[in-house]
Amino acid sequence: MSEMNKRIIEIDKVAKVYKMGTEKVFALREVSVDIHENEYVAIMGPSGSGKSTLMNILGCLDTPTAGRYAIGDADVSRMNDNQLAEIRNRKIGFVFQTFNLLPRASSLKNVELPLIYAGMSGSERQQKAQNALTKVGLGDRMTHKPNELSGGQRQRVAIARALVNDPSIILADEPTGNLDTKTGEEIMQLFADLWKTGNTIIIVTHEEEIARHAHRIIKIRDGLIESDLKNPEPIIV
């Protein structure tokens, strides 16, 4: 990791409060993190730690109650629903634990989806989606539907979908949670490859084993950052 790389995420004293009836629940109390281009970060924490809330804010799926969050030059914390949708579309590639593919659409259609909302024309869309699928090793599975693919293959489709619009960050939420160990390792290998080709990767996990692939590990507990350390010996698969 190089310190000279451009800062792409700036989280400054971000808090998130939910109201449960009359009671206030502090999901995040005060969190500040900067992430730079081509970093490989793992966010760790037990359930209820605020880890999911942080991920939602990072992914622009939710806005903070207080504090500032910027992706590049864009101040996300003040954005409305539609602006957030556009930021998600252009800057963030999601990879979910449950894959979240559209069940009736082929791999190719699934990967094309973000490009549709980016307003790209049909032929260009198809070209880019094919390239992304080839990159994750599914060049021969373009017309298959999710139920015709194995778990690992489904997650690869999801990763291709995350990559296809050249996002600033790839945000993966427990990407190996629904996979067996061997397949999980293969997916982690894919993330490592993506990192090598210049992508910025954030993995949210509660598994030490997975987190140790990252070069920087941020631990969250009770809505606060407990530790934010370099991983001197990332696992090389």
Partner 1 sequence: MKLSEISEAFKISLDAMLASKLRSFLASLGVLIGISFVIIMGWILDGLDGAMQDTFNIMGADVLYVDKYDWAGGQNWDKIRQRKNITIEQVNEFIDRVENAELIYPTARRWGASFAYKGESFSGFPILGTTFEQSLSPAGEIEIGRHFSQFEDIRGENVIVLGYNIYEKIFDSKNPVDNIVKLNGHKYRVIGVIKKQGNMLFDFIDNQVFIPMKSFLKTFGNFNRSISIGVKAGSVEKLDLVRDEVRGVMRSIRSLKPYEEDDFSINETKAFENQVASIRSVVWIVGIGLTAISFLVGIIGIMNVMFVSVVERTKEIGIRKALGAKRSSIAWQFIMESALLCFIGAILSFIFCSVIVYFAAVYLPELISEKLKFLSMMLPYNLLFWATLVSVIVGMLAGIIPAFRAAKLDPVDAMRSE
Instruction: Name the CA dihedral angle for 185, 37, 158, 124, rounded to a multiple of 10 degrees.
Output: -140
Instruction: Please identify, using beta-carbon distances, which residue of 81 and 140 lies nearer to partner 1.
Output: 81
Task: Report how far residue 18's alpha carbon sits from residue 5's, in angstroms, rounded to the nearest whole number.
Answer: 35
Pairing status of strand 40-44 against strand 216-221: parallel
- Told to check if 50 binds partner 1 by CB under 8 A, we report no
Give min distance, CB of 64 to partner 1, in A. 14
- Told to check if 74 binds partner 1 by CB under 8 A, we report no
Give CA 42 to chain center in angstroms. 10
Q: H or E stretch including 32?
A: strand 23-36
Size of the site for partner 1 (CB under 8 A): 29
Please report, as residue ranges, which positions from 180 to 199 form the binding site for partner 1 (by CB under 8 A): none
- Told to check if 117 binds partner 1 by CB under 8 A, we report yes
Number of other residues whose CB lies within 10 A of the CB of residue 83: 13
Q: Position of tokens 């864009």?
A: 74
Instruction: Of 224, 165, 175, 205, give the one whose Cα is nearest residue 41.
Output: 205
Instruction: Please identify, using beta-carbon distances, which residue of 28 and 217 lies nearer to partner 1.
Output: 28
For the window 4-43, what string marks contact with partner 1 as x by the rule CB under 8 A?
A: ----------------------------------------
- Told to check if 114 binds partner 1 by CB under 8 A, we report yes
Q: Is 40 helix (H, G, I), strand (E, B) or coil?
A: strand
- Told to check if 56 binds partner 1 by CB under 8 A, we report yes
Instruction: Please identify, using beta-carbon distances, which residue of 98 and 227 lies nearer to partner 1.
Output: 98
Residues near partner 1 (CB under 8 A) are 56, 59, 61-62, 81-82, 85-86, 88-90, 94, 96, 100-102, 104, 113-122, 125, 161
